[in-house]
Amino acid sequence: MKHIAWTGTIAAAIAASAPVAAQEKPGFKDTPMLPGGQWHVHDSDRPYPATVAPGDAPGAPPSDAVVLFDGKSLDAWQAKARPWTVRDGAMTSIPPLGGRGENALVSKASFGDVQLHLEFRSPNPPLHSSQDRGNSGIWFMQRYEIQILDGYQNPTYADGTVGAIYGWKPPLVNPSRRPGEWQSYDIVFERPHFAPDGKLLRPAYITAFLNGVLVQNRQPWLGGTIWRDLGQYEAHGDAAPIQLQDHGSPVSFRNIWVRPLPETAASYDFEGTVK
Ligand code: MG
């Protein structure tokens, strides 16, 4: 049985609101048992959620966030070929010397289930068109790409526009801002699960908001991203880096933070068994 951390702050708050029962934990033990067989409805022993201080402004990192880019340091990253540029609080992708190949930026830390916030800015004036206009992408676990593109009045194939699971699911809508304006992504990524023999037990899922608008609603992934082909799963570990794509467009980023998440139960039956 777990017990709550009975802090003075919580005790004082309850004492102020219910002075007669100041020493009692609020809740019940005579209510029905919830699925899972651990807690009653309104259980007095059920642990409180941890206190997290929200960011000072919309999009700012909360107190338990891991900040991956604060506008100054690239210390949390390593570039495939050469460091991206940092200027005026933003980092910008640059191609490898000679301009051939890609110069992706890879987080030094690895993540499984994770909440991610970042802001990006497409080049202004726009360069080129379609997939060559502001192309980047967030590659969770270095395998699963949600697309970054200049999606403002930029015709391209639907499963390759901004907000798309590349090569699989177009975004629900296109809430793009104009090139040169900062745009935000808020994403929950759930990693896939594999059996010891490599068989897929549960796909990856993504929920994504672009500029505060839902573009992917717990969408299962077809598999790892492959250009011009069907996504495929190949068994991998429980955590891997986040990768930002360099696709030859000078896309800028700022305010990048993550919150590693507890594993999400796939589903419940109403006997309370986690499947
Ligand atoms: Mg891309």
Residue ranges with CB less than 5 Å from ion ligand 1: 135, 137, 245
pLDDT at 269: 45
Q: Residue ranges per domain, the chain?
A: 1-48, 66-260
DSSP per position, 11-36:
HHHHHHH-GGGTTSPSSBSSSPBPTT
pLDDT at 14: 40
Q: Which two tokens stand for residue 178?
A: 């104009």
15: CA distance to ligand 1 center in Å?
55
41: CA distance to ligand 1 center in Å?
46
pLDDT at 265: 63
164 burial type by CB count under 10 A (0-12 exposed, 13-18 middle, 19+ buried): buried
CB 39 within 8 A of CB 31: no
203 closest CA partner among 191, 189, 188 = 191
What would the pLDDT profile of 237-267 be if each residue is shown by its tens digit?
A: 999 999 999 999 999 999 999 999 998 765 5
pTM for this structure? 0.87
pLDDT at 263: 83
- Name 274's bridge partners: 268
129: CA distance to ligand 1 center in Å?
13
183: CA distance to ligand 1 center in Å?
16
Cα separation, 138 vs 243, whole angstroms: 6
pLDDT at 158: 98
End-to-end CA distance of the chain, in Å? 22
pLDDT at 3: 37
CA 134 and chain centroid, separation: 21
pLDDT at 56: 96
Cα separation, 92 vs 77, whole angstroms: 13
For the chain, residues with pLDDT lower than 50 are 1-20, 268-272, 274-275
Q: Which CATH superfamily is domain 66-260 in?
A: Exo-inulinase; domain 1 (2.60.120.560)
CB 169 within 8 A of CB 159: yes
CB neighbour list of residue 215: distance below 8 Å, 6 or more residues apart: 163, 171, 172, 173, 175, 208, 209
209: CA distance to ligand 1 center in Å?
17
47: CA distance to ligand 1 center in Å?
42
CA 11 and chain centroid, separation: 35
76: CA distance to ligand 1 center in Å?
21
164: CA distance to ligand 1 center in Å?
10
87: CA distance to ligand 1 center in Å?
23
71: CA distance to ligand 1 center in Å?
22
